[in-house]
Amino acid sequence: MDNTTIDYVIEQDTIIVDKNDKKDTIIIANDFIVLKEDSSLDFHIEKVEYWMKQPRGIRGKQGGDAYNGLFCQFEGGHSILDILDINNKQHITTLELEYNSDYHCNNADFSNTFYDLQDEFPLLYSSQQDRYARCIIVDRIVKRDGNYDLETVQKIYLPYDKEEPLQHYPDAVLDNENRFIYVYAGRSVEFCLYKFRLPKIEEGEVVQLREEDILSRWAIFDNPARYRQGSKMIGDFIITLEGRSDIKMRIIDLENHRYKLIDLTSDLGAKWEPEDIFVIDGEIFMASGATGIYKIELSDD
């Protein structure tokens, strides 16, 4: 692999491929497939509306995901977990965990795998990234005597190479259907994605992914993210949230190497720092860093 630092001045190769009975063009730059912006990509937001408040936290609200109508959101990396009933707009409980200042959770995803078939929730994967943490924590949510608890069953550590954009505050999103992890990272001039297989729990309490485990890699150069937040795999698309006061949503179509950027601040009046995106009964919700949970309404066209 060429580990040259990616920049706007890069050597590119153009590959013409046959796809769906038509010619297509793929741009390759330093082993990355370059994603192109395509505003015609099918995904239209009608409005974003306030749904419910979050419980008051002692640390910043961060990544989370929902299962069976219950939304689980971390605070302070991996130190607090709030469980909310989204349909009934109720706070269920708050779990206080051990605080680690190296952790910062931008994204959390439930898998489709249960540690025990009697468990109420499948395994929860949370990206814990800071300058040095850079791991994915796999937790089991258990209920004993009516009380929830969290048990860490695995930690997945990402490769580290000082010349590779993967080192810059990586976050991971699950492809549960195909059992892959997509890690997105990069500096202020690039948005890079890396595909890994999803390790099995049977592989041990600690799994170290290496550079040779990267299956594919993609990059965006012309419209990079300043602040990357949470994400979700919905169908064939990866949907990421970005920004703090300038809130954006990026729809990524890896199969057709394209993306669409939606400005939630200018176009829809969003005024909160986004943290993560989740789905309940086919409806899409977004969680903020403090101001509440929001529902996204999609248009029919």
Whether residue 256 has pLDDT greater than 50: yes
Whether residue 210 has pLDDT greater than 70: yes
Burial of residue 123 (number of CB atoms within 10 Å: 0-12, 13-18, 19+): buried
Whether residue 125 has pLDDT greater than 80: yes
pTM: 0.89
123 dihedral zone (left: phi>0; alpha: psi -120 to 50; beta) = beta
pLDDT of residue 297: 86
Phi, psi of 64 (to 5 degrees): -165, 170
- Lowest-confidence segment of 23-27, 72-76, 292-296 by average pLDDT: 23-27
Helix residue ranges, H only, 64-223: none
pLDDT of residue 269: 65
- Amino acid identity, position 281: D
Whether residue 290 has pLDDT greater than 80: no
Whether residue 100 has pLDDT greater than 60: yes
Q: How confident is the model at residue 1 (pLDDT cuts 50, 70, 90)?
A: very low
- Lowest-confidence segment of 59-68, 262-271, 281-290 by average pLDDT: 262-271
